[in-house]
């Protein structure tokens, strides 16, 4: 039962790590380029969830000064603020890599990594 309690207590961290690992697996094993980009996004979400989870304080309220509260406990706002930047970064990376996929499709007519490598090695042999 102790283990179960521990899992429930740390469910946010475990979820974050699980997302990270799922994303990593997609990036490494899938051959479809768009799925790989999705994998990067899932990995990013995992890290962001982890960051936000660190900032949480049990029973805390949003850090906005409110005179009606007596001795309020605030959650830590800094990780959430940092993550806003992180989200912007991952969005721009996604946009850039999707545009690359469009160019790859225009040139090779495929977005599958295994077919791509086959096409590229054929071209190399021609030269």
109 touching another protein, by CB under 8 A: no
82 binds another protein (CB under 8 A): yes
Helix, strand, coil percentages, rounded to 5, for the chain: 75, 5, 20
Site for another protein in 47-66 (CB under 8 A): 47, 50-51, 54
- With CB under 8 A as the contact rule, the residue among 60, 62, 87, 96 that binds another protein is 96
Smallest gap from Cβ 40 to another protein, in A, equals: 5
Output the smallest distance, CB 15 to another protein, in A.
14
Residue 75 as a binder of another protein (CB under 8 A): the answer is no
**38 interacts with another protein by CB under 8 A:** no
| 40, 72, 80, 110: which one binds another protein (CB under 8 A) | 40
């Amino acid at each position: 039962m102790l283990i179960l309690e521990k899992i429930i207590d740390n469910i946010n961290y475990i979820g974050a790590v699980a997302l990270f690992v799922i994303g990593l697996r997609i990036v490494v094993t899938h051959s479809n380029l768009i799925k790989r980009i999705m994998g990067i996004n899932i990995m990013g979400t995992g890290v962001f969830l982890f960051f936000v989870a660190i900032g949480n304080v049990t029973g805390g309220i949003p850090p906005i000064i409110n005179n009606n509260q007596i001795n309020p406990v605030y959650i830590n706002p800094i990780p959430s603020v940092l993550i806003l930047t992180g989200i912007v970064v991952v969005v721009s990376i996604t946009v850039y890599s999707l545009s690359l996929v469009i160019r790859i499709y225009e040139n090779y007519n495929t977005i599958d990594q295994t077919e791509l490598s086959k096409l590229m090695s054929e071209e190399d042999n021609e030269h």
